[in-house]
Structure 1
Amino acid sequence: MIFDVNGKRLVFGMQWEALLSDADVHSKARTGKSRYVWTQDKAFYYGVLNVADREEKLRMPLYSGAIVLQHRYPDEQNLMLVLEVPNGTYIACGLHQGRPRSGFDAVVADRAALDALLSSFKELCGAASFNLYGDARIAGIEHVSMADLVGSIDNTAQLRRVKSAFVNPLAAMGAGAVAIAVVAYSVHTYQQYRAAEAQRLALAAQKSSQTLYAEELAARRNDAALPARSVAEILAPIQGMGLTNGGWPLTKASCNVSIEKLLVCTFEYARRQHSAATNKTFVDAAGKSFDSIEFAGDLIKATKQYKSAALLAQGKVIDAAQGQREETIEFGSALQRLAMFGKPKLEEHQPFALPASAVLGELAAPPIGAANWEFVGPLRSVKGLAAFPAYATVSRIVVTFSDKPAYELRQSLAMVTVSGRIFSKPH
């Protein structure tokens, strides 16, 4: 289905296939009678526009929603986007092992169909689990709107016209009429979406701002949280993995806290030029070390999930919060102590878990605050996070590895970026 949003045309419901050889993608697309295709140099998969969404070349380009989602979250392996659209239907777009999958880029008819698709996607991801984004009313979802997604569009997500050796002008004219009808339908569909969203907000407005905030905060207290002081403990098994596997050097490790209270890590291994390492040497050396392994030429991505007592319900972290002034002294000092080893950053506090339909001035008391923070430095410096207060959490850890020696205080063969947030209570 094609959605016209803020002057950009976003496509969901594409068919995705693995590219197992150098076969002509356009030929395959023509066989399926598709007029538009997404492909890219060195990509080992491609996507074609659904036949039901056929249309001729118009002035406005088409962009794949799945690829936009992929570029918005480049370091996440498994994720699902769920957006509400008119008449109780939903956009459901999933990425598995970092790429779109057929059957999980869809517009589903109702909540029952959505629940079935989410269940299937969970089964596909297996132990690796997945992160959930969107604007649907689902526990644990991280809010992302259609407009947010449109704001992430770049040219790499654009669909291309399928190449053809022969074009029938009369057929093109007829198809052009169909194309105009599809555009009109997509505009109408988004107008319906806006109307449905307005209706939902109107219903929400019947509740007081305090009630809306209390409901949202209660839901967010159940989210998973990784205390910053536990990062060194979490990273211990990763640091003990070794820097090569079957002749493949480890170049990057990315870990995220999932909605299922698991730490999900993706390890990237890059094969050196003229190396004797092969896919088989990697698999033989890995054994059962990973939950899943994906091959992409000279790059291998292996996923592993970790269960840990360090992962808590977010409510416990929120309860440990202090006032912003106290935290400026305590947490600010903790970051300043790390500054000699790397680059810390702390953003301004913002209201936490305040729904868009709630009015800040109507709350009975100021809301819980939250501020994002980040630290970039040598991997060895994460031991300093053990001194962080209990209200500081980590949501993402990225470790990059280099084979070039570095003997400086702020540099290392392994550099880490730790991202998270702190919570604060009103005075």
Structure 2
Amino acid sequence: MATSEIPLPKLRAWWSHRQWLDGGHLADGAGPAEVLAATGWARSVGGAAPYLGLYARAGLGRAAVDAAVAAVAVHELPAARGCTYVLPAADYALGLAAGAAAPEGELAAAEKHLGVTRDEIEKLCLAVTQVTSPTQPLDPAAIREAVGDAVRPLGEPGKKRGLSTTLPLALGLLQARGALRRVPVNGRLDQQRYGYVGWDQPVKGSAAELAERYFSWAAPASLKHFRWFSGFTAATAKAATAPLDLTPLPGTDLLIPTELAEEFAEFTPPTTPHYTLLAGIDGLHLLHRDLPRLLDPADAALPVPGAKSGRSFGSEADPQTHVIADRGRIVGLWEYDTTAEQLVHKLFVPADSALRAAIAGTERFIREQLGDARGFSLDSPKSRAPKIAAFRAAG
């Protein structure tokens, strides 16, 4: 990816700068919606990633994020590829449009393999909308009880495919149509207990609009990177980017909006480190999902902490732990030990005072405001114990 014209450290530092990870926006007073609009949708899988990302970019505490969620200024929605992201309100319509194909695909698979019909699911969708309200969340069990026989069990074949009843199919379709939204019962983004309320959210947006958003967040990026984020075919990705004014970077397959090209050409990487502690699925990595670009070669060869022998960090599609970044380079790994209330880490660089302060600040944020830093919904103190032990053993 790097060329004699464009050194990799410059690319990394630029990505970090565009992602608000250089410390330049910590005193801006930006709210969660503003941060997400500028830096991209935050992947959410029931873990701490949205909180960690907003804290690292704008110094936002949990209370500010939860208040934005309660006000529906930001919301967790099925968006690109049908995956859940936290989006700003201005992007709800586009995000839903970007993810609309996923529940349709799930319904088609259920029709093929489980004997489900579209007619019965549409009737179930209607029944769900009749029992849900815009103000009083109902959890799935309450919805099942309220709609009665409109929900059908799918037996062992369904369980093998992760669908014990027809209700998830209807809930997925209704969310994608903007007719239903999922609300965390305790207002937190890092715990997966939800209720559902009625909604009336338009669903609209083109592939070109998604491409424009993406390249404003992630450029320089390749069509391959955009395809990963969007889930588009090569032909659709090419058509989506055709209306955009993108400039190729010499000697690479990377594209950047022409309006940013001069700024990028004049950009000089900072000489002073700025450390941020991020989730492994933070947008710095996940917008491109091209992990080697964030690693020095020597670091890429390091083993994955707590994993089976033979697995190296650079061979993974995604980090298997949370990461520490400096000017776009991953310079360490970390996890949170809930028993000791301590952030445990493995560093690829010597610890200076700035790095120690960044670690201490994030540790305090987790201890006082989050209580834990789960990577995803099934992560737990027990499941991450081998990684923590490996960090401690490495000293």
What TM-score, normalized by structure 2, do the two folds share? 0.22
More strand by share: 1
More helix by share: 2
Answer 1 or 2: higher relative contact order, Cα 8 Å, separation at least 6.
2
Larger Rg: 1
What TM-score, normalized by structure 1, do the two folds share? 0.21
